[in-house]
Each structure stands twice: as C-alpha cells, then as structure tokens.
Structure 1
Amino acid sequence: MKLRLLVIAVMLVLVLPISISPVLAEEPHQDISPLTPEEWKVYRELSRRIKDAYVDPVDDKRLFNACLAGMAKLDPYSEYLEGEAFSEMFSDSENSAGVGLELRIKNDRHQVVSALDDSPAIEAGIHRGDVITKIDGKPIGKLSLSEVAKHLRGKSDTKIRLTIKREGVNSPLEFTLTRKIVAYQTVNSRLLEPGYGYIKVRAFPRNTLEKFVEAVQSLYRQNQGTLNGLALDLRDNPGGLLDQAIALAGAFLPNNTLLLSTEGQTKDATQEYKGNNDILSRGDKRERGKLSDEVRHLPLVVLVNDQSAAGSEIVAGALQDYQRALIIGTPTFGKDSIQTILLLNDMSAVKLTTARWRTPKGHSSAPEGITPDIRVEDVAATEQDDKVLASALAELKLLRQRPHGKFLGYTEK
C-alpha cells in the first residue's frame, strides 16, 4: 500500500511524505563506470525502436527525460523533478483557490479525511469519510491525488461540482462549491473538556514548532493557566520537514535526549539527532524557549493511524521509546526513509532517498509501522463518532491518577 494523502486547501497543498528539509546542494560525486559500447548500442537501438513504433510521435527530449526519470526511480519516494513537477515542489500555494478538503486514497477510493474550517467544503456539508466519485460529472476512477488536485483547484469564485458517495446513503450526493482562498492550518487546538487539551498536527511544514507553541499557550490560557493532560493527534499526517518533527518530539523531552539516528552513504546522512538547540533554527530556538517545563511532564497521549508516516512516526517512536507518551490508534504507515531535494545544473531537481532512520532504541518503522500501545480502529465518519479520541481522553484521565507512573514524564527505561 502506497502512502497517498493530499490537502486541498488554499490552492491544493500537496503534503509530500518527505521527512527532511530540502537541501539545495550537490553531493561530492563518485566516479561512475562508463557505459560499454554494447550498452550504448542497446540504448540507441531502444531509442530508435520507440521513435519508429510508438503510437504517437516521440522526440529525443521526451526520451531523455524518461531516462532521467527512470534513473531516479530507485524506490517509491525518489523521483526526477522537472517542469511542472519541479515548480509545484517549490511553489507557494497560499495565493491560489481551492475547496478546503483533505483527501487520501483508501481502498482505491478518494476519501475525505477532513474539511477545513471556513472552507467551501465544510460550508457545503461534506463530511469525513465521504468518497468523491466524480468532479464536474466526470468519474475520477483511479486518478492520482495530484491529478485530482489539478481538477479541484482553480481561480477564486469559480464553480465546481462534486459527486459524493456517503456511507449509509443509497444515492450519490451532489455538491456545487465555489472555490476560494482557504487558510490551511497545519496545527489546530481546542479543549476536549476542562483541563484536557487537544492539538492536531496535520503535517510538518516550516513553522510547525511555532504553531505548536502557540497552540499550547492558547490551551493554557483557555484553562486558566493549567492543564491536566494533552492529546496530540498525528493521524493522517504524512510527514514533512525533518527538523520540525525532531523539534516537536524534543518539546516533550529533556535537552540532549537522543531522538533518532540516521544512516546513509554520505557523512551528512549518518547522524544522531538529539533534543538540543543545535538542530533548531534561530526562530525555533526562540519558540521552544517559550514552552514551560510543565509541558515535558504533562500526561500525553499520541493518536496515530495507518496514514501517519515519516515525521509522525519519528515523533511517535521517540515518545514511545522513552515511555513519555501513550500511543493510541492503529499501526502507522511504516516509512523509515528520508528524502533530500538536490538541485541539478539545469534547474531541474531530484528528490532522492539519502538515509534511513531508527528510533532512539534502534527500532525501524518499516515495514510494520509503529505499533500503538492501545489499538483502537480509526473508523469514525464524524468527529462525534471518534472512538480513538474518546479513548485518548479516557486514558489521559487514568494517567493523571499515576503521578509517578510511566507515560507521565521522561523515563530512561
């Protein structure tokens, strides 16, 4: 099963399952054995046969790009980026319009994970668990999420019609939405009830730690300066920037605590990452300084599911290894690789797997994922039916009764 999750918000924000910040630099090259005359002969013969026999005309540029794409496709996450794919990787989506849906592909169906606040989708009444079957009357079948993205985004104030299958409803539902710019919030928070906070982290883009700190401070203000426990929701979070995932895990653990180790061919790819300020940007250092020490000892439950990947697994794995948090939900996706964006001389790029990571205790998340401490199936169609969240709140209350037990603060065990 491939991890596929898309956020359609302002334009249609594609949250890629990458767990390291883009590095726009060249690696020192190693000598590569040249192709033999026989290998070049095969290449030229294949090129000629394709141009002569393919159903449509094919030029040399297209064949060359196909060769580059094939060279880079060493695993599901590595790829050659040129043209539109390259532009979208570095584009700022905040000035394009969309419908405010977070989607994933599950069982070959385009399923709604959530409708964002103040979006056309939520205003129309589209729910978590709804399945989109048609866009403007055309079946979307097995389109990729990026292809669905192209259909859903567009200019502000333009119309789009979605056909939706909803569980328990026999006939398809039709929704006509008007695209608009929607503020995509990667971090949201609220009080579940007095004393118990909830923070949802949808991905790990830039400024995730800053938004998390703001959310924690907001919860403390709402509850008159104190909290009894916190539920951290990483469900359907496909990852993002490595430093932001490390920063979030480190927010709950003492400084200089090992958070993960990585291994790769290069020196930079083989590292140990600890919860100290060395890995943080100047802004993140400032933000983490705003957190009180109480946060490191606050009863904590982390919610995960089969679409929690990469950065989400780094956070859950570190907190589980140190018994700092109780992990609830279903096994995570199982992505243990790290990708780096490398610019090429022609301003194309390659997204390349450069390392694999392990938890502080040396565990890999691949292929089974992080196993939760308490398994609860993530089948809620609406927030009111969310059994995982209900279980998290119940466990937080139990943890509160164990002031010296595990899962209540850092332990070396």
Structure 2
Amino acid sequence: MRRRSGTIAAVGAAFAAGVVVGPLVAAWAQEGSRAETYRLLNLFGDVFERIRAEYVEPVNDRDAIENAIQGMLSGLDPHSSYLNPRMYRDMQVQTRGEFGGLGIEVTQEGGFIKVISPIDDTPAARAGVRPGDLITHLNGNSVQGLTLQEAVEQMRGERGTSIRLTIRREGAERPIELSITRDVIRPQIVRFRLEGGDIGYIRISSFNEQTEAALRRAMQQIRQQAGNNLRGLVLDLRNNPGGLLDQAVQIADDFLDQGEIVSTRARRQEDGQRWNARPGDIAQGLPIVVLINSGSASASEIVAGALQDHRRAIVMGVKSFGKGSVQTVMPIPGNGAIRLTTARYYTPSGRSIQATGIEPDIEVLATREDTSAAAIARREREADLRRALRNDNGAQRPQAAAPPPPPPMNLPPGLLERVQRMPAEGAPAFDPARPETDHQLQQAVQLLRGIAAAPAPQRRAGR
C-alpha cells in the first residue's frame, strides 16, 4: 500500500509542477505492461495543461490535481474518496470519538447530500434531522456541484457557529429550513437501561475507538442493577451507520464463545482475512434480540450477521442498509490520504451482504405507515446508490450456490405467533422519550420474556 501511495503522490506532484516525468510514467507503464497506461497518463497531462493555459480564470494547481484524484476515486464506488490533509485530520479526530460539527452520517445521491442517520444527542438530532432527508442547500447555496467531502467540510466548524440547512423530506410539501448551531460532538455511543427490571437494553449508535469498552461497562452496570433478575438483552443497532471494523469484531466476540465472526475477501486471495471468536460471553448465555433497520450499516451489519449466523441472537426489525465493503485509509505523506474500497466482508456462513443487507429473522415494522409505497421508497439502501458494488454471493466459491440461510431459530412453540408485525391501529406515535411507544423494542422485550419463561430445555432458543 505504501508503495502504491507513493507512486500516486509522485505522479500528482509531477503534474502539479506542469511537467510529465517521462521515466517515472514509463516505469509505471512498464510495470503494468500496459502501453495504454502511458497514453492515458499523457492524456491527463495534456488536459491539465490545457486547463492551466486556457481556463477563463487562473486555476490553482493543487485544487485541480485534488479534484482529479477525487473524481478518480469517487467514480469507483460511493465510498472511495480523497481526503485532503484537513479532512484526514478531521477523520482521525472523529474516529477517536470527538469532532466538531452537526452530528450526521451522510452519503451523496443525485447531486444532493442524503442523511443516513443523525447521531444521538447531537445538534442535528435535536433539530429534527431524519434518516432519508436530502440536504439541498447549505447557507442558501446549492450543494450540487460539491463533492461529498466538500459538503461535509462546510457542515463542520467551530463550536457555537451556525449553519442553515435546506432539507427536502419525503411527504413534506415544501423544503424545510433548519438553523443548527455546531457543537463539539462527543456522542454517547452506548446507552443502556433496564426494561421492566428484567431485560437489559443497550443501544450502540456508532463504532469508534471507545465503543467496545463502553459496551462492557454498560453490561456490567446492567448486571449490577438487575441482580439475579436479568432474563435477556436487547442490542439496538437501528440507525447505526457503522464505523471501525475492529470494534465490530470485538463486540461480536463479546457475545460469542467460538467460531468465525467475519471474513474479508480482497482482489488478491492472499489479502483476505478472517476473525474468530475467543472464549467468553459477557451476556453469559442470556437470550439476545438484535434490532436493525434500513439505517443499520457496515459494522452494524457485521455484528448482526455474526450473531445471526451463530444463532446467538434473534435479529428483529427490517432489512439493513447493505454496505458490505471495507474501506482502507491509506495515508499519502504530506498530502492527506485516500479512502479506498479494498475488500468485501462476509458473515460466518459465507454471505456477502453487499447491496442486499441483513434480513431480519422476524420482520417487525416501526409504524403501520411503513407498509406504504412511499415509506418503502424512503428506505434507500446501498443497492440504490450510484456505482454500488455488486453482490457476489457464490461467485468466488467453485461449484457452490448462494450461501445457506441461518439455521432455524427453534423458538418455544407459539411464541413467534405472538409477535405483532406492526403497531395496533390507533397506537400512540413513536416518541424517543417514551420507550413504551417503540413498537419494535416492545416486541423484542416480550419475545425475550417468552423465551425466558419457556421450560428449561428450550431456554437456549435463539442460540
């Protein structure tokens, strides 16, 4: 990786200086045995020189080269991109669990900025930003023509400064204007409480360097509060956009005693990796329900898929986002970094969830309106993004069909039939401050209590 990054940086520097370094380019072309590569690099140099000489206004060489690199990467798939030095620093800060801005996970679609999920307890969440919102303007200026990174950079800023977002929302008759004051984002990535004194509830909102340690603290405190009454655990990964792969692996490992957690397959077979669980289950065998929805992506899907395949948990909710690719951040010394898609990941049974997502074991809708055509259209997923990688289930395994589905849940008789797929007609609207209005959560709690109440030989159902 370092060698490739150095080559890109060197070529970029050569073009920025307004020259084509013949030996360097020729060496690259010879290495790939592609005379066409040499011709195309000369084409790039010719276009660059024409822009420098004849564009209506003077062009900054660095900006032109960075734009070219950004276009080269963003043209590959929705998640590869160039990070200039400032963006790279911001990303490192965010990965540590603290950054300045609004608190939203976004992608780009149709020239606009689409909200994947607002992060809990951030200015964006408090202002009412919702998953699926399309941000069309920032401070009155259209986001069309901006790269995703440029838009993100504009939304970030010093604590106490404000930005005006214009949002287009499905079902709203006119654009929504929101003025949001930036803050230092220190999201509480793990929240927990007891439901009814006997069911532990843990919500993970993202995966950064602090997530697994926070999960262990939450589990410890739940046990202290519940004493011997703890009967099950709800792991809420709804609207969790993902994050660090190693944190997803560690969290899945926390609930598994053995077996594969996830594997990755890259362009070269030798670059693939596999992670296996170590002995030790912090839930000590208690039944688990994992809640997912269309905002559950990437690292969330790794955890849900691993626990589902091993039947360590029952997955409930609606199909997840379907981001089954791995991005590697490759620093370019003195010039930021590139974020490059380098592999697909696979659940223990060999499923690639790229562009398909995790199907819940039990589908439970958040609202009755979720069955409408408009609601279904709002659930944009990875497969809907331009240039999304294809799903290759079965393609890399000789004489193999698609991977098998997870084994049966083996629930106690009659328990599955008592799960209500949608709220009752006239049920109160969902209010985050009132857990009793969260239909998916309440169905998870009732399911866990039903498992715990079953005769002893059946209490391992879901494992």
Matching residue of 2:445:
393
1:195 aligns with 2:244: no
C-alpha contact (below 8 Å) 2:98/2:187 kept by paired residues: no
SS in 1 for 2:235: strand
Matching residue of 1:42:
43
Give matches, 1:150-169, under 5 Å: 150-159=153-162
1:308 aligns with 2:309: no
How many pairs were matched up?
A: 370
Alpha-carbon spacing, 1:218–1:241, altered in 2? closer, same or farther (3 Å): same
C-alpha contact (below 8 Å) 2:329/2:339 kept by paired residues: yes
Amino acid of the structure 2 residue aligned with 1:91? V
Alpha-carbon spacing, 1:138–1:254, altered in 2? closer, same or farther (3 Å): same
Amino acid of the structure 2 residue aligned with 1:45? D
C-alpha contact (below 8 Å) 1:103/1:110 kept by paired residues: yes
Q: Which has the larger radius of gyration?
A: 2
Deviation at 1:136, TM superposition (A): 8.3
More contact order relative to length (CA 8 Å, sep ≥ 6)? 1
Instruction: Give the alignment partner of residue 215 of structure 1, picking from 206, 218, 242.
Output: 218
Deviation at 1:46, TM superposition (A): 2.8
Amino acid of the structure 2 residue aligned with 1:398? G
Give matches, 1:304-343, under 5 Å: 304-343=292-331
Instruction: Give the alignment partner of residue 83 of structure 2, picking from 77, 81, 84.
Output: 81
CA distance in 1, matches of 2:41, 2:171: 59
CA distance in 2, matches of 1:273, 1:176: 44
CA distance in 1, matches of 2:244, 2:170: 35
C-alpha contact (below 8 Å) 1:187/1:200 kept by paired residues: yes
| RMSD of aligned residue pairs (Cα, Å) | 4.0
C-alpha contact (below 8 Å) 1:132/1:162 kept by paired residues: no
Alpha-carbon spacing, 1:161–1:78, altered in 2? closer, same or farther (3 Å): closer
Matching residue of 2:33:
33
Q: So what's the TM-score if we normalise by structure 2?
A: 0.66
CA distance in 2, matches of 1:313, 1:320: 10
Q: Residues 173-225 of structure 1: CA distance to partner in whole angstroms, max 9, x if unpaired?
A: 87666544453111111122211111111111112110000111121122235
CA distance in 1, matches of 2:124, 2:445: 28
- Write 1 or 2 for the structure with the bigger share of helix: 2
Alpha-carbon spacing, 1:258–1:398, altered in 2? closer, same or farther (3 Å): same
CA distance in 2, matches of 1:300, 1:226: 15
Amino acid of the structure 2 residue aligned with 1:260? V
Matching residue of 1:252:
255
SS in 2 for 1:297: coil
C-alpha contact (below 8 Å) 1:321/1:359 kept by paired residues: yes
Alpha-carbon spacing, 1:101–1:333, altered in 2? closer, same or farther (3 Å): closer
CA distance in 2, matches of 1:212, 1:110: 29
Deviation at 1:344, TM superposition (A): 2.6
Amino acid of the structure 1 residue aligned with 2:77? D
CA distance in 2, matches of 1:224, 1:362: 38
Instruction: Give the alignment partner of residue 241 of structure 1, picking from 238, 241, 244.
Output: 244
CA distance in 1, matches of 2:265, 2:135: 42
Deviation at 1:129, TM superposition (A): 6.7
Deviation at 1:375, TM superposition (A): 1.4
- Greater Cα shift, 47-56 or 210-219: 47-56
- Greater Cα shift, 323-332 or 63-72: 63-72
Deviation at 1:275, TM superposition (A): 0.6
C-alpha contact (below 8 Å) 1:198/1:230 kept by paired residues: yes
Amino acid of the structure 1 residue aligned with 2:234? A
SS in 1 for 2:255: coil
CA distance in 2, matches of 1:141, 1:75: 20
Give matches, 1:1-80, under 5 Å: 31-33=31-33, 35=35, 38-52=39-53, 54-73=55-74, 74-80=76-82
Q: Structure 2 unaligned segments of length 5 or more: list them.
A: 8-27, 368-428
Alpha-carbon spacing, 1:394–1:275, altered in 2? closer, same or farther (3 Å): same
Alpha-carbon spacing, 1:370–1:407, altered in 2? closer, same or farther (3 Å): farther
SS in 1 for 2:316: strand
Instruction: Give the alignment partner of residue 185 of structure 1, picking from 170, 184, 188.
Output: 188
SS in 1 for 2:69: helix
Alpha-carbon spacing, 1:406–1:375, altered in 2? closer, same or farther (3 Å): farther
Instruction: Give the alignment partner of residue 369 of structure 1, picking from 335, 357, 375.
Output: 357
Deviation at 1:271, TM superposition (A): 2.1
Among the aligned pairs, what percent are the same residue? 34
Q: So what's the TM-score if we normalise by structure 1?
A: 0.73
SS in 1 for 2:305: helix
C-alpha contact (below 8 Å) 1:97/1:179 kept by paired residues: yes
Alpha-carbon spacing, 1:158–1:56, altered in 2? closer, same or farther (3 Å): same
Alpha-carbon spacing, 1:217–1:32, altered in 2? closer, same or farther (3 Å): same
CA distance in 2, matches of 1:45, 1:321: 53
Amino acid of the structure 1 residue aligned with 2:343? A
Deviation at 1:34, TM superposition (A): 5.4
SS in 1 for 2:441: helix
C-alpha contact (below 8 Å) 1:329/1:372 kept by paired residues: yes
Deviation at 1:47, TM superposition (A): 2.9
Deviation at 1:397, TM superposition (A): 2.0
CA distance in 1, matches of 2:221, 2:326: 33
Deviation at 1:321, TM superposition (A): 0.9
Deviation at 1:87, TM superposition (A): 2.8
Matching residue of 2:386:
none
Alpha-carbon spacing, 1:27–1:253, altered in 2? closer, same or farther (3 Å): farther
- Greater Cα shift, 134-143 or 264-273: 134-143
SS in 2 for 1:87: helix
